[in-house]
Structure 1
Amino acid sequence: MDLLITAAARALAAGDPLGALNRIALRDDAPALALRGIAMAQLGDLVRAKALVRRAARAFGAKEAVARAKCVLAEAEIALASRDLAWPAKALDAARATLEEHGDRVNAAHARSLKARRLLLIGRLDEAERALGELCPAPLPPASRAVRELVVAGIAIRRLQTKTARAALARARRAARHAGIPALAAEVESASLVLNTPAARLIAHGEQRLILLEEVEALLASKALVVDACRHVVRDAGTVVTLASRPVLFALARALGEAWPADAPRDALVARAFRAKRADESHRARLRVEIGRLRRALRTLAGVSATKRGFALVPRGAVEVVVLARPIEEKHAALLAFLADGEAWSSSALALALGASQRTVQRALDALAAAGKAQSFGRGRARRWTTPPVPGFATTLLLPPTLSHRLG
């Protein structure tokens, strides 16, 4: 048994990369290369970490299948940390199968956890949940249990299930404390902040206020008719009408919702829906057509009645009408939401997560950079984008609901 390798591995498991490097920094054998790569990843040098782990995989050779699979696992984790979401998922599945075949259940479970984290990042919540369902937490070490619970919490937060999220974060906090890894404990605390910072703006009766994610969940389960500007839908507790692909109709619905219980003037509706500074007869004729379309779209939820000066929203079963808006509203809010996690993203990873073309994302990033809201470092494929977190706001409701979302 190589005592230095064993000591370095224990140091890494305890979150002490410098202690590990003190033991193996000058060694170039395969186990030392792998551990050096993991240590560099923990220190944040992901480019060097990836190169070391790949060297280790080559050095282990074909006969050491388990060791090579562990290197693939480490490379997948580095890819996730560097937001290289296009990293081949099939390689991770193959490594997991090898680990399971050789009885390494702990690392095989970690592979499933990595797969679930990637699926969560790109918004595939159902698939992430299925991946977690195949992962039994009982045999996992404390650090792996904490990571699993963070994924559970992330899925619950995206689905606005705050009680489930709080319970998962409490379990993650206990597991992280047991693991004794400061970086992991900090990640849990950072995730917990999402539940305690404003997630949206509630607009009702001419007033607006910031509300927490828990209040958003309660609002969507209430008897109110909600014009949801975070998801571009109109909904009550039992019915959802999506207007995501019909921006003019949603603009009218939102204007009527903000004016409720009063009516909205025709000129104001024309300006809101068509962005016209002055309304003429052609605009008014088009407004009547679009109002008719809105009536048909919302017929199960509300009516739209004509008044002397404009139109008013008339809910059928709801007791009131409210508008739920994002805490910040700007052209590239969804893109900023991903960048606000503090990690460095590539444009290709952002395109995958948003379901948009890479060229569209690149144009948006250039616009944000010109406005001083994003910055990049590196060149070519190594180029990464970051931005400071949005101060005082949770970005959950800024994230796109599906992969079909497009940048505005």
Structure 2
Amino acid sequence: MNTDALVTAAARALAAGDPLGALNWVALRDDAPALALRGIAMAQLGDLVRAKALMRRAARAFGPEEAVARARCVVAEVEIALASRDLGWSAKTLDAARATLEAHGDRVNAAHAQYLDVRRLLLVGRLDAAEHALGALDPGLFPPALRVAHELVVAGIALRRLQPKIARAALVRAGRAASRAGIPALAAEVESASRVLNTPAARLIARGDERLLSLDEVEVLLSSQTFVVDACRHVVRDAHTVIALARRPVLFELVRALGEAWPSDVSRDALVARVFRATRADESYRARLRVEIGRLRILLQTLADVTATRHGFVLTPYRAREVAVLARHDDERHAAVLALLADGESWSSSALALALGVSQRTLQRALDSLAEDGKVEPVGRGRSRRWLMPPMPGFTTPLLLPASLSND
């Protein structure tokens, strides 16, 4: 078999999801096409560090006149970075590679590059931008593997917006496309995403009772005439208005305490103990409580009032007929970090900080705390260090994942 035939055979094996078969054809070769194919094969086998190194060698090995091949290497390297949850790659570099591919008529790989950018936007919670970019792509024009990528992104956006019906329909379409593609890894990815819809999403606390809710039940709750204190996303809302309190932890803790007790009031001593962690509610703490209650009234003025009672305070919604608190199943600290790590991939601390919109120092403190408790573990050292944890059994995480809010 000649050299070109070996490369063609390896490429066909990769397209069919057979990386070991591809390596059998090109494992001992160091020319540019073989390096690129070996890199893709190693990525499919999960050795992302070696895959990235091979793709960089391949990009350097292709000459200046081989612009399309070099652009494809760039796209492949970005895909490897995305798989390893390294979000620090340059969007301009990917855009330049996509433009080169489009200019030379390689519409499939150009579309693949755009899907990678959309997936990055989804990971960092920029849902509107991801949806806008997705609207420029027509999955009907592409092969089944890219249709799977399209529908997985549609499902991911719908899940973060708490729209399980839309997500379920997209995953059904993704499953059909994965069957046509005949690639086991794609089918497994669709199946993994589908499991999210069949596991509990949150804990409901209302009128002194608690129970678990599915995503479908959460969607129904959020569209009902209920004042919801969402402790997963740190917002308060009814069917028409959302008020973000992620950056006001004291106020959120106050409204959560009032929501859990509703329709009863909460004593001043209990609020001081919960919010300020004080063992005794002296006059200075009571004065602080009055100040924070005043701030909370201002923030909630379109949704509810906080009414003083003889013993404490009670939440009084204007429109809502009920009050409920949505909480994580175990009220874990650093829940958003664990939600991102629950996908089973290894994340760099810089990628986690970018996805959550927090500083590197804040994120590192959270990781150190979780590591002390044995809930996450580092892999590697220095700049190559990554963090991972096993997926959380029996609980889904869309409510905890980053999603931009209109007034946050």
Report the TM-score when normalising by structure 2. Answer: 0.96
Which of 318, 331, 334 is the matching residue for 1:332?
334
Give the structure 2 partner of residue 265 of structure 1. 267
Alpha-carbon displacement from aligned partner over 1:74-115 (angstroms, at most 9, x marks no partner): 111111111110011211111100010011111111111111
Give the structure 1 partner of residue 113 of structure 2. 111
What is the rounded CA distance, in whole Å, between the counterparts of 1:377 and 1:288 in structure 2?
A: 47
1:87 alignment partner AA:
W
Alpha-carbon displacement from aligned partner over 1:106-165 (angstroms, at most 9, x marks no partner): 111111111101111111111111221111112211111101110111011111111111
Consecutive unaligned residues in structure 2, runs of 5 or more = none
What is the rounded CA distance, in whole Å, between the counterparts of 2:91 and 2:405 in structure 1?
A: 18
1:376 alignment partner AA:
P
Alpha-carbon displacement from aligned partner over 1:347-370 (angstroms, at most 9, x marks no partner): 111111111222222222122112
Task: Give yes or no for contact 1:354–1:403 (8 Å, CA) kept in 2.
Answer: no
What is the rounded CA distance, in whole Å, between the counterparts of 1:400 and 1:138 in structure 2?
A: 29
Give the 3 Å change call, closer, same or farther, for CA 403–71 of structure 1 in structure 2: farther
Residue 248 of structure 1, CA deviation: 1.9
1:144 alignment partner AA:
L
What is the rounded CA distance, in whole Å, between the counterparts of 1:293 and 1:351 in structure 2?
A: 29
Matched, 1:39 2:56: no
> How many residues are aligned here?
406
1:246 alignment partner AA:
R
Give the 3 Å change call, closer, same or farther, for CA 304–403 of structure 1 in structure 2: closer
Which of 16, 22, 26 is the matching residue for 1:20?
22
Matched, 1:219 2:242: no
Matched, 1:346 2:343: no
Task: Give yes or no for contact 2:244–2:405 (8 Å, CA) kept in 1.
Answer: no
Task: Give yes or no for contact 1:353–1:403 (8 Å, CA) kept in 2.
Answer: no
What is the rounded CA distance, in whole Å, between the counterparts of 1:242 and 1:347 in structure 2?
A: 25
Give the structure 2 partner of residue 175 of structure 1. 177
For 1:219-368, what aligned pairs fall within 5 Å after superposition? Answer: 219-368=221-370
2:39 alignment partner AA:
G
Residue 243 of structure 1, CA deviation: 2.5
Alpha-carbon displacement from aligned partner over 1:166-223 (angstroms, at most 9, x marks no partner): 1111111101111111111111111111111111111001011111111111111000
Residue 15 of structure 1, CA deviation: 0.3
Which of 135, 139, 142 is the matching residue for 1:140?
142
What is the rounded CA distance, in whole Å, between the counterparts of 2:298 and 2:349 in structure 1?
A: 40
Task: Give yes or no for contact 2:348–2:387 (8 Å, CA) kept in 1.
Answer: yes
What is the rounded CA distance, in whole Å, between the counterparts of 2:213 and 2:99 in structure 1?
A: 45
Task: Give yes or no for contact 1:355–1:403 (8 Å, CA) kept in 2.
Answer: no
Consecutive unaligned residues in structure 1, runs of 5 or more = none
395-404 vs 198-207, greater mean Cα deviation: 395-404
What is the rounded CA distance, in whole Å, between the counterparts of 1:378 and 1:27 in structure 2?
A: 29
Residue 403 of structure 1, CA deviation: 9.8
1:301 alignment partner AA:
L
The alignment's C-alpha RMSD in Å is 1.8
Task: Give yes or no for contact 2:227–2:321 (8 Å, CA) kept in 1.
Answer: yes
Residue 244 of structure 1, CA deviation: 2.5
Report the TM-score when normalising by structure 1. Answer: 0.96
Alpha-carbon displacement from aligned partner over 1:11-61 (angstroms, at most 9, x marks no partner): 100100011111111111111111011001000111111111111111111
Give the structure 1 partner of residue 195 of structure 2. 193
Task: Give yes or no for contact 1:46–1:78 (8 Å, CA) kept in 2.
Answer: yes
Residue 299 of structure 1, CA deviation: 2.2
Task: Give yes or no for contact 2:126–2:403 (8 Å, CA) kept in 1.
Answer: no
